[in-house]
Every structure is written in C-alpha cells, then in structure tokens.
Amino acid sequence: MTHSEKLAAFVDRACYETLSEEAVTQLKTRLLDSLGCAFGALPSQTMRSLHEHTVEFSGHGPCTLIGGGSTTPDRAAFYNGALVRYLDFNDSFMAVREYAHPSDNIGAVLAAAEYKRRSGRTFLTAMAIAYQVQLRLAEVAAVLARGFDHTVQGSYAIACGVSKALGLTPQQTANAIGMAGTSFNALRVTRTGTLSNWKGLAYANTAFGCTHAALLAMRDITGPIEVFEGNKGFMETISGPFEIDWSAENLESVLRTSIKRYNGTIDSQSSIDAMLKMKRMYAIDPTRVQRIDVDIFKLAYDVIGGGEEGDKYIVETKEQADHSLRYMVACACIDGQMMPEQYTPERIHRSDVQALLKKVQIRPNAEYTRRFPQECAVRIEVTYSDGSRHALENPQYEGYFTHPMQWDDVVEKFRKLAAPRLSTARCDQIIDSVATLENRRIAELTALLGD
C-alpha cells in the first residue's frame, strides 16, 4: 500500500466510539471557540467583500454561510473557513519547527457534513481526523524552514476530514488525498515581509480547493496515490522522508492544541499574558517607559519577533499588527487588553503605540527554546526613563495545552465575540447545540449559524 492508501485506511477505520470523553469535550470546545471567532470577524470589510464575492458567483446551494446565505460545499468551506481564521484568534498548535491552526479545517468539514446531512457524531469524528492528520504531519514533516506555508500539511488534513464527512470509500479518499496534496503547496512568503489580506485567507483557499478535490473523488475522479513517496512527490520535493504508522494512530491530537486567550498569534500569548500581568501588578505607566526587553523561544523570535521573517517594526495594517510581537506587547502595555478592537486602523496608527513599539527589544533565549514546546516561556523587563525596572517570567498562559482553558471560559469568549452580532437567546441556542452536538444532526447547528 502507498502512504496515501494507508492514510485513507486510517480515515475509513476511524469512528466516534474510539474518541475519549475528554477529546469529545475538547473538540466541542474548539468548535465553539471557532464559531465565536467567525462571528467576531463578520463586520470586517474583508469578510464583507468575501460574502459579496461568494453570493455573486454561487449564492445558492445546500450549505450555510455563517451570518446568512447559502452556497456550494467548496464555497462554504472557503467563506466559513475565512471567518474562523481572519481575526487570528482561533486555536493553534506549535511543534518544534512548525505551526498549525487545526480549526482552519472546521469550515470545510462542517460544509461536507451539512451537505451529506450527517450527525453531530460523524462531524466530530471527521473534525478529529483533520486535527490528527495535520498535527502529526506538522510534527514529522515540517515545511516552514524550506519556504513553504503550514497550509501545505493542511491540504492532507482537509482531504481526510472532508472525505470522512462525505462517506467516501478508502480508494476515493486516497484519490482525494492525492489531488489535494499535489495541488496546494503554498509559499511561506504569505507570512513574511509586507503582510497582506492573504495571510488570513490562504488556508481558506486551501480548504476551497481540497473540498473540491474530495467532491471530485466522490465522482470517482482519480488522483496520484503516490503523492507522498512517489517520484517528485511530497517527500522528495518538500518535506524529506518521514514515517507515520497510521495503523497505530488515534484521534486524540486535539488534546495537544491550544486556545488563544488574547487576540494574537499563538506564540505571542505568553508575552501578552505577561505584559498584562505586569500592568496589573506594577501599574505600568507607558509614558514613562524607556525600553521593554522580551526574551522568548526561538520559533516565536523567528516568526513574530524580528528574526527570520522580518524585523516587525513597520506596522500599518491588521495583518502586520497581529504578526508583530513588538506591536502586541506595546498595545497590551497601553490598553490593558488585546482583543479585535486593538487591530482597527485607528488604533494601529495612533502615535502612542507606534512610538512604544519601537522601544520593544526582542531576543531569542536558549533555555526557553530548550523547554519549548512543553512550555512557551517568556521574560519581560520594563525599564523606566529613571532607570527603575520591573520584570516577570511567564512559562505559559491559561489556554496552552498544558494548562487548558475550560468550557466556561470559552463560552465567555464566544459571547464576547458574538454578542454584537447575535441576541443573547441565539448565543444560548448555539452554545447548547455545540454542547450536545453528539446527540444532534449537524443541520440543527448550521440552521442557527445562518439564520
């Protein structure tokens, strides 16, 4: 059997009954968290443009658009996936050399499950499969250092999760994996240099294409089943050799993902948390700050701290702001919070934060790097103009997988993000639907999301 056929056999074999009770709870927690992020993104001009685009070209179909409307499964995967991702507030996973945002798969799996009128249990199983595939590939087949985006591993995750939701045969699933895996090998330049809207939309585009590939496989269109090990395949051209024994894999990887307490990248969370704690503990006065020193683990330094992917001093857009640790630390120091309102153009361009971010110095710390990813440690030291100092070391934040956020906290986050768009009664209905999803049809949930 080829690697894709072994992976397809894993997808076919996976069933709800093998999920632990804790995994089911965490899958539902991440679903609710993702829906909060989606409703929170609805007012943005980018999402309005995508909604207009989707309605104009495919405004009718069997799948719900969050916030209103319907479309085809692949377009729903794109639009709903973009909503979940756009704020950069959805869940994440960090390996030693790689990132993943596994909830980026939810829009696609939800569309396929709704299209096929599946149960909540089938949806949760397909969601767990997508998480498992993406996280395992992120761990053993890292692509970031080779110049490729983390959406590359996502193409396999989406193909597998959507195939399960569609009820494809193992051969059809292998075909979907082959088509998706050969077609969506995106470049890391999406998240380096001058950042654009595409940073928040690249995975949604992968979801669109890979859902389409699975739908073609459903019609018995074939794909290259040697996509992993074949001549000029994934291993030879991108990842290098690796091994995963899919016959021994479970569906528990969701337990190793982290939920964001603050609106920012996953590697910024402990830094934001530390800065906010310091502001409360020491009543930090931003106008007196001469310098802020941040020591962090190397992966965070390289991506958001001024290392391999740019110095992060130039911050003019939301996309640049939520990938600049300098901006996030400075804004948290001034505002005492990091939520979507910290990324409006008006907030980003104000002179106070623009001046303070230039006083933030970031360094990689060898000891923190050694302890990563079991910890996402940071040390922040604030120096005032009179020479006085305050410092705090923070090994993790509440929401990291070693210190998981609880259901009630995620409910609070959901309400905060969704309340401006939804009534209290509708929020209650969605929360209850997600909490009891294993006993419902997926259409019961999607009806609440689109009405």
Percent above pLDDT 90 for the chain: 94
Q: Are residues 33 and 164 in the same domain?
A: yes
Residue 451 has pLDDT above 80, yes or no: no
Domain-embedded: residue 405: no
Q: Are residues 156 and 272 in the same domain?
A: no
The predicted model gives 73-84 an average pLDDT of 98
Residue 310 has pLDDT above 80, yes or no: no
pLDDT of residue 311: 79
Q: Are residues 40 and 92 in the same domain?
A: yes
Query: Amino acid identity of 66?
Result: I
Q: Please list, in sequence order, all residues whose beta carbon lies within 8 angstroms of the beta carbon of residue 37, skipping any fewer than 6 positions away.
A: 83, 84, 85, 86, 87, 89, 90, 103, 417
Q: pTM to 2 decimals?
A: 0.95
From residue 282, alpha-carbon distances to 96, 207, 329, 381 in Å are 33, 45, 16, 12
Q: What is the CATH number of the domain that holds 356?
A: 3.30.1330.120
Domain-embedded: residue 374: yes
Domain-embedded: residue 276: yes
Q: Are residues 124 and 209 in the same domain?
A: yes
Residue 238 confidence class, pLDDT cut points 50, 70, 90: very high
- Two structure tokens written together for 126: 């397909």
- Two structure tokens written together for 309: 């992917």
Buried b (16+ CB within 10 A) or exposed e, 241-250: eeebebeebe
Q: Are residues 289 and 208 in the same domain?
A: no
Q: Are residues 191 and 283 in the same domain?
A: no
Domain-embedded: residue 92: yes
Q: If we measure between CA atoms, which residue out of 243, 242, 209, 237 comes closest to residue 147?
A: 237
> What residues pair up with 384 in beta bridges, in sequence order?
289
Give the tens place of pLDDT for each residue, 399-434.
999 999 999 999 999 999 999 999 999 999 999 999
Residue 193 confidence class, pLDDT cut points 50, 70, 90: confident
What angle is formed at CA 365 by the lines to CA 360 and CA 370, rounded to 5 degrees? 145
Give the tens place of pLDDT for each residue, 144-176.
889 999 999 999 999 999 999 999 999 999 999
Residue 370 has pLDDT above 80, yes or no: yes
- Two structure tokens written together for 44: 């943005």
Domain-embedded: residue 139: yes
Q: Are residues 27 and 114 in the same domain?
A: yes
Give the tens place of pLDDT for each residue, 103-159.
999 999 999 999 999 999 999 999 999 999 999 999 999 998 899 999 999 999 999
pLDDT of residue 145: 87
Q: Contact 97/199 with Cβ under 8 angstroms?
A: no
Q: Are residues 422 and 349 in the same domain?
A: no
pLDDT of residue 258: 97
Pairing of strands 378-384, 93-94: unpaired
Residue 38 confidence class, pLDDT cut points 50, 70, 90: very high
Give the tens place of pLDDT for each residue, 280-305.
999 999 999 999 999 999 999 999 99
Give the tens place of pLDDT for each residue, 336-353.
999 999 999 999 999 999
Domain-embedded: residue 407: no
Residue 309 has pLDDT above 80, yes or no: no
Q: Are residues 240 and 301 in the same domain?
A: no
Q: Are residues 239 and 286 in the same domain?
A: no
Domain-embedded: residue 408: no
pLDDT of residue 95: 87
Domain-embedded: residue 180: yes
- Two structure tokens written together for 296: 């962090």
Residue 393 has pLDDT above 90, yes or no: yes
- Two structure tokens written together for 8: 């397809």
Domain that holds residue 313: 266-394
Q: Contact 336/276 with Cβ under 8 angstroms?
A: yes
Q: What is the CATH number of the domain that holds 204?
A: 1.10.4100.10
pLDDT of residue 195: 85
Q: Contact 309/192 with Cβ under 8 angstroms?
A: yes
Residue 308 has pLDDT above 80, yes or no: no
pLDDT of residue 191: 87
Q: Are residues 228 and 201 in the same domain?
A: yes
pLDDT of residue 66: 98
The predicted model gives 325-343 an average pLDDT of 97
pLDDT of residue 312: 82
pLDDT of residue 435: 98
Q: What is the mean pLDDT of the chain?
A: 96
Into how many domains does the chain fold? 2
Q: Are residues 51 and 164 in the same domain?
A: yes
